[in-house]
Chain A
């Protein structure tokens, strides 16, 4: 053993030591990596992965991968030029076990642009990975949100139809159009059904216990010209648990004729509804308001 340690600088062994600056950076970043891993293990031991902490953990992910990319970059910077021939420069483990190798000449410094490239390539790879991971997510979230709204409205007696033949201006290409022609379940009135649907869509689901109800919104219904209804901008749940997004909800019904009070809600939609065989319409459009329909 002593013989091997003493004669470790030999023609067959490593000829160089890595560049000292980036080598120190590598060690620092890998120590940070190790610390992060231990912290993550500790967090996993004391909490469930689905807890409220998970959002914070996911926020840390880009920084975590950035750390690893920089660590790769620093390692490449320390050893570039000695990768092609194995054993040409002493590995970190060799430097640790045989301190006499630290007296070897350092690898020649790299030109600045090449060093920058060595850091930029892993960082760009990580950036590409995150860009790829977040592609199209908006479309999927919108689709699942729409499906959830459709399902809860179907439970309340609505049927989804194509928005193609609705009067122009009251719908957008990404609207959800629902109609009803039967009595609503539990003998509810139209206004109560729409309010129940809005409250349904304002529930917040957590991993702990029952879903949390949001405080009830005051949705004024106006009656005029034989129809009742209104249009509001309400914050509704998106598929992701705690996230809300404003939606424009237009509800018009000619089912319960009542005395007039105020201006007619959505006059164009109301007159169109009089020619249809169903009695109620519910239109949900993502976004704060849609043109063509007067807001209350």
Chain B
């Protein structure tokens, strides 16, 4: 069979396979997770790059009439579209994630916080995110720290300060949360009751919740 025809058939098949990968990539991009969809992007770029490369190699005008089926001859045809797809796709996804960083960080924090059994509570301030749990304030700080680390964020060294006022502890921490490839700064304020080493007796009813507020810090 004519090698050009074979290559066109290969390109069509690989193009179909790449088209099947695209919905997954789009879903990964729109999924409100804070991580960059490296795996789907690389997979889609490889298969679409191979399809476009084969197509280019088959249709590129050569003087001999039929394309040479050797990897050295076809490498640039495959390499250039693959790299272009990788770079262009990465830049586009990064721009999209910067625009939607609020939603991304919010979901990532939500998920990490739910993993350590803190639950969302109604927030007095608009635009902030509040979580609470029936624990004491030092434990709340520890849980928040592990949640921020698990969400791919960073904690500035020694920032989970705790100020004691009577039988309450309050504190503030400057953290960054990940949105795609960027780190977005946030301020985390928390306060809660003290249970160990407390002076006043504990109430018979349930203790007030230990609460934390996550707010976007100005950078």
CB within 8 Å of B: which residues of A? 83-87, 143, 147, 150-151, 154, 159-162, 164-166, 179, 181-182, 276-278
Interchain Cβ contacts under 8 Å between A and B, 15 examples: A83-B71, A84-B72, A85-B69, A86-B69, A147-B115, A147-B117, A150-B117, A159-B207, A161-B135, A162-B138, A166-B196, A179-B196, A182-B204, A276-B197, A277-B195
Indicate whether B142 reaches chain A with its CB closer than 8 angstroms: yes
The total number of A-B Cβ pairs within 8 Å is 61
Q: Which residues of B contact A83 (CB under 8 A)?
A: 71
Q: How far is the CA of A286 from the CA of B202 in the complex (A)?
A: 29
Complex Cα–Cα for A29 and B3 (A): 31
The 6 closest A-B pairs by CB, nearest first: A162-B138, A162-B139, A84-B71, A165-B196, A86-B69, A161-B136
B84 CB contacts on chain A under 8 angstroms: none
Closest to A154 in B: B134
7 more CB-based (< 8 A) A-B contacts, given A147-B115, A165-B196: A85-B70, A86-B69, A150-B117, A154-B134, A159-B134, A159-B195, A162-B138
Closest to A84 in B: B71
Which residues B122-154 have CB closer than 8 A to chain A? 134-136, 138-139, 141-142
Closest to A150 in B: B117
Instruction: Tell me which of A85, A161, A181 contacts B71 (CB under 8 A).
Output: A85
**How far, in whole Å, are A179 and B195 apart by their CA atoms in the complex?**
9
A162-B70 in contact (CB<8A): no
Interface hits, B71-87 → A, CB 8 Å: 71-72
- Closest chain B CB from A89 CB (angstroms): 13
Seen from chain B, the residues whose Cβ lies within 8 Å of a Cβ on chain A are: 3, 69-72, 115-117, 134-136, 138-139, 141-142, 195-198, 200-202, 204, 207
Contact between A151 and B138 (Cβ–Cβ < 8 Å)?
no
How close is B132's CB to chain A, nearest CB, in angstroms?
13
B92 to chain A, nearest CB (A): 27
* Known contacts A84-B71, A85-B69, A154-B134; is-contact A161 B204 (Cβ 8 Å): no
Complex: how many Å from CA A161 to CA B134? 9
What CA separation (Å) do A96 and B24 show in the bound complex?
37
- The prevalent SS among residues of B at the interface is loop
Residue of B72, B135, B202 touching A277 (CB-CB under 8 A): B202
CB distance from B10 to the nearest CB of A (A): 9
Q: Across the two chains, which residue of chain B brings its CB closest to A165?
A: B196
Whole-angstrom distance between the alpha carbons of A223 and B3 in the complex?
90
| Pair A278/B195 contact, Cβ less than 8 Å | yes
CA distance A146 to B141 in the complex (A): 17
Closest to B202 in A: A181
| Contact between B117 and A151, CB atoms less than 8 A apart | yes
A276–B196 touching, CB < 8 Å: yes
Q: Given B135, B142, B197, which contacts A165 in the complex, CB threshold below 8 Å?
A: B197
The answer for the CA separation of A42 and B200 in the assembled complex, in Å, is: 67
C-alpha gap A151/B117 in the complex (Å): 9
**Interface contact A276-B198, CB-CB below 8 Å:** yes
Q: Which of A161, A182, A276 contacts B139 (CB 8 A)?
A: A161
In the complex with contacts A182-B204, A277-B198, A277-B201, A159-B135 CB distance below 8 A: yes
The residues of B that contact A181 with a CB separation of less than 8 Å are 202
B135 touches A160 (CB 8 A): yes
**Shortest CB distance A290–B (Å):** 18
Cα(A278)–Cα(B207), bound, Å: 13
Known: A179-B195, A277-B200. A162 touches B136 (CB 8 A): yes
A84 contacts across to B, CB distance below 8 A = 70-72
Chain A residues within 8 Å of B202, by CB: 181, 277-278
- A151 CB, min distance to chain B CBs, angstroms: 7
A164–B138 CB distance below 8 A: yes
